[in-house]
Amino acid sequence: IWIKNRLNLVSSNILFGLILVFMALFLSVNFRIALIVAIGIPVSFMVTLIAADLIGYSLNMLTLLGALIALGMLVDEAIVVAENIFRHMEMGKTPREAAIDGSAEMFPAVMTATLTTVFAFLPLLIMSGEMGMFMKVLPMMITILLLSSLFEAFYFLPLHAKEFFSIGKFDKIHERSLFWEWLITLNSKILKQLLLSKKRSLSLLVIAILLATAGMISITKFQLFPEFDTTQIYVNGKVDINSKLEDTAELISEVEKALMADLPKSEVASVTSVIGMKFNPDQSFELGGNLFQIFINLYEKAPENLFDTYINPLLSPEYDGSDMIRQKKAQEIAKVVQKEIVDPFKEKKLSNGALMFQEINAFVQQTGIVGHDVEIGLVSSDSPKLLVAIHQLKEKLKSINGVYDVGDNAKEGVRELKLRVNEYGQQLGFSEGYVTSGLKGTMLKAEYGKMFNDTGLVRIRIEDPEKDRNMQMESVRLTTPDGKHIVRLSDICDFYYEKSFVKIFKEDAERMRSVFARVDSKVVLATEVMNQIRPLLNEIEKESAKVIIKGEEKENKQMRKEMSQAAMIAIFLIFISLVWMFNSLILPLIVISTIPLSVVGALIGAYLLGINMTMPGVMGIIGLAGVVVNDALIMLSFIRKSKDYDELVEKASHRLRPILLTSVTTVLGLLTLMFFASGQALIIQPMAVSLGFGIAWATILNLYYVPLMYAVIYRVKV
């Protein structure tokens, strides 16, 4: 049911996005243009499905989300080509001439525009590690969809346009829309007014945008991935390492009873336990008789927004809302479990005074890219100093509001007996090997011989049945190597008990211990926690141990490096494409200059929706670079060679309709993901917000900033 509901949700988002795009086209342009563009969408999707299957991608949540991201961009090429064919029809050409001339005229610009978008997303494939494996499907799906839409726009669309415009009588006066006439007139007046003081207008516009960008960056918070709701809560941990499976199961039964008694039946469907293993937040797992894993299985979340309540049931292929009764988010329930059930068990003790659980925590599994939000590795050869540093760091983390589940992996194991033959023992001929051999029969199940009977081989073993109850090591007696004397073990050996660590962790050939914690992103972010503990880390590094930053901070650093590289590659490829199209260096620089100025739109969008900037959000900003330049190069391809203001304004007005249409359809395609995301779709929401709000703001830049910049650089006269 969970998988079906997730796929239903994404599918209904795609269908609703298509409906919004169709409505925008039918309401704002000629009916025939809208129909021509609409026919091309299923063709592009079919080509995409075939191509995705050939390269090994299946239909899943991420591929469908990639399709949803590209939905609005899918019709951009078709809109520009169809609108230009329509413009040639308005000039009095026959349908055949208009289809040929209109599509041929736009081929260089549209192909370059598509390539710039592809070049913006493809460099994201350089992302490495688990993040790269997780996210690379998005740029691949977007690239395939855009290339398939380009193929459709110049292969099928002109044929459709010729046929549709040949049907009935085409009255160009009747076909003109009063709405577009009014909008073009208004835009022309604004642009002409700005051109009258072009240098001042351009300077004020650029300065205002740069100041707004700097201000938004200063108040924007960053986290690796957004938090999202799931249908499972994990409760896991470990008991004493000497415990057997049966002992662990007996202790866990108390936790199960508490969970079943205290958790509301309207939220929790069932509780399942596995003894002998536990899952870690980074999706790895451990095995051991003292480990346990409890799954709290929740009902599906009840619809919480307009889309989930009214639209999703209508558009989903197989909608089943019988399980959607949970009112609280998984994170809210996990906090209750941690506070009311898990925390009391942390303090509970056994009859011998030992803690019942060495470790027990409740958490909601997320993307699994990082094991813990905060993780710091400490390396030192001085164990006492290392343990002191670990204690200091844990206490500091516990003092920060919003930080919980503070722990470390410096766990002591079972008590071990260390033996060393003393000088007297050596004089008698004892060695560690001889002592070990002599103790086998006492401490272990020693094999002393073999024989055969009717059933086959029989191994003869000797074991002391009282060794675990009544044995005193000091009283154990051994025969001397020469066989003449019997001595006590305490006379010939120095021995002591010592606890060692359960596991040895190494990084770059150095033994390392880690301190880790989780954070409540509603209260504090991992980056803010790292800033607060940095003075203590500097002090620890000077006095006692080498500090290695891990967790989300490490991934953030790696992500910033790779995203910077991807952005540089994308801008370079976009620039090369523009130089090829314009055969100029100045015009591509005008187009490229819109990229940094459009970032403020993405930042404002994240702020208005109350979400933090995340790694998918940064991916959206890089992808925005390719989408933003599309309208800019289409604008420049028309206004270049303008001799005066009137000619520039007239040519710019010809691009108003396609620029607005491509922007509106792209934003509408992203609408549900921006405002009505739920479940795992919340991972991709920041990407949609960056693209949607960035494109909306870039529309203003392309309508006014680009003509102004062109007029200033090329000194267009009045």
pLDDT at 215 over 90: yes
Tokens in use for 689? Answer: 């917000």
pLDDT: which is higher, 460 or 260 = 260
How far is it, in rounded angstroms, from Cα 236 to Cα 357? Answer: 10
pLDDT: which is higher, 49 or 613 = 613
pLDDT one-digit tens code per residue, 368-427: 667 778 888 888 878 788 888 888 888 898 899 888 878 787 766 666 778 889 999 998
Residue 233 DSSP SS3: strand
List b or e across 88-116, with b for residues whose CB sees 16 or more CB atoms inside 10 angstroms. Answer: bbeeebebeebbbbbbebbeebbbbbbbb
Helices 615-639 & 706-713 angle (0-180, nearest 10): 50
List b or e across 656-675, with b for residues whose CB sees 16 or more CB atoms inside 10 angstroms. Answer: bbbbbbbbbbbbbbbbbbbe
Q: Find out whether 239 and 357 touch, Cβ atoms under 8 Å.
A: yes
Residue with tokens 């500090």: 547
Q: Find out whether 623 and 120 touch, Cβ atoms under 8 Å.
A: yes
- Average pLDDT over every residue of 357-361: 85
Tokens in use for 47? Answer: 């080509």
pLDDT one-digit tens code per residue, 637-691: 888 878 888 888 888 888 788 888 888 888 888 888 888 887 777 888 898 899 8
Give me the domains of the chain, ranges plus CATH numbers.
2-219+584-713 (1.20.1640.10), 229-365 (3.30.70.1430), 414-501 (3.30.2090.10)
How far is it, in rounded angstroms, from Cα 454 to Cα 457? Answer: 9
Residue 327 DSSP SS3: coil
Which of 189-198, 451-460, 461-470 is predicted most confidently?
189-198
List b or e across 255-290, with b for residues whose CB sees 16 or more CB atoms inside 10 angstroms. Answer: bbebbeeebeeebbbebebebbebbebbeeeeebbb
pLDDT one-digit tens code per residue, 487-545: 988 888 888 777 666 666 766 767 788 888 888 888 888 888 888 999 988 888 888 78
- The set of residues, in sequence order, having a beta carbon less than 8 Å from that of 474 and lying 6+ positions away, is 488, 489, 490
Q: CA dist 156 to 149, 160, 436, 445, Å? A: 10, 6, 84, 81
How far is it, in rounded angstroms, from Cα 113 to Cα 140? Answer: 17
Residue 313 DSSP SS3: helix
What DSSP assignment string belongs to 618-632?
A: HHHHHHHHHHHHHHH
pLDDT at 171 over 60: no
Q: Find out whether 262 and 342 touch, Cβ atoms under 8 Å.
A: no
3-state secondary structure 571-603: HHHHHHHHHHHHCCCHHHHHHHCHHHHHHHHHH
**So what's the pLDDT on residue 207?**
95
pLDDT at 578 over 90: no
- Name the burial class of residue 124, with classes exposed (0-12), middle (13-18) and buried (19+) by CB atoms within 10 angstroms of its CB: buried
3-state secondary structure 429-484: CCCHHHHHHHHHHHHCCEEEEEEEECCEEEEEEECCCCCCCCCCHHHCEEECCCCC
pLDDT: which is higher, 414 or 329 = 329
Q: Find out whether 179 and 26 touch, Cβ atoms under 8 Å.
A: no
Closest by CA to 263, choosing from 298, 234, 302, 227, is: 298
Q: Find out whether 570 and 625 touch, Cβ atoms under 8 Å.
A: yes
Q: Find out whether 546 and 385 touch, Cβ atoms under 8 Å.
A: no
Strand (E) positions, 480-581? 486-488, 493-501, 506-507, 510-511, 513-519, 546-550
3-state secondary structure 534-553: HHHHHHHHHHCCEEEEEHHH
How far is it, in rounded angstroms, from Cα 534 to Cα 233? Answer: 32
Residue with tokens 């596991």: 503
**So what's the pLDDT on residue 468?**
61
pLDDT: which is higher, 60 or 529 = 529
How far is it, in rounded angstroms, from Cα 575 to Cα 561? Answer: 21
Residue 393 DSSP SS3: helix
Q: Is 118 left (phi over 0), alpha (psi -120 to 50) or beta?
A: alpha
Count the helices and strands in the chain (H runs, E runs).
29, 18
**So what's the pLDDT on residue 205?**
92
Of the pLDDT bands very low, low, confident and very high (cuts 50, 70, 90), residue 444 is low
Cα-Cα-Cα-Cα dihedral sign, residues 693, 655, 68, 111: negative
- Average pLDDT over every residue of 278-295: 83
Of the pLDDT bands very low, low, confident and very high (cuts 50, 70, 90), residue 210 is very high
Q: Find out whether 99 and 85 touch, Cβ atoms under 8 Å.
A: yes
Cα 432 vs. chain centroid, distance in angstroms?
Answer: 55
Cα-Cα-Cα-Cα dihedral sign, residues 621, 627, 633, 639: negative
- Average pLDDT over every residue of 307-333: 82
- Average pLDDT over every residue of 567-589: 87
Q: Work out the mean pLDDT of the chain and round it to a whole number.
A: 83
Cα 440 vs. chain centroid, distance in angstroms?
Answer: 54
Residue 419 DSSP SS3: strand
pLDDT one-digit tens code per residue, 107-139: 888 888 888 888 888 888 887 776 677 678 888
Q: CA dist 594 to 191, 247, 624, 706, Å? A: 17, 66, 11, 8
**So what's the pLDDT on residue 448?**
65
pLDDT: which is higher, 455 or 668 = 668
pTM of the predicted structure, to 2 decimals: 0.77
| From 151-155, 461-465, 624-628, the region with the lowest mean pLDDT | 461-465
pLDDT: which is higher, 442 or 153 = 153
Residue 136 DSSP SS3: coil
**So what's the pLDDT on residue 457?**
78
Cα-Cα-Cα-Cα dihedral sign, residues 295, 362, 537, 544: negative
pLDDT over 70 percentage in the chain: 91
How far is it, in rounded angstroms, from Cα 106 to Cα 112? Answer: 10
Q: Which ranges of 359-420 would DSSP assign to H, the alpha helix?
A: 383-398
Tokens in use for 666? Answer: 């792209």
How far is it, in rounded angstroms, from Cα 692 to Cα 17? Answer: 13
pLDDT one-digit tens code per residue, 4-17: 666 677 777 778 87
Closest by CA to 695, choosing from 673, 651, 665, is: 665
pLDDT over 90 percentage in the chain: 8
Tokens in use for 618? Answer: 């940064």
**So what's the pLDDT on residue 174?**
42
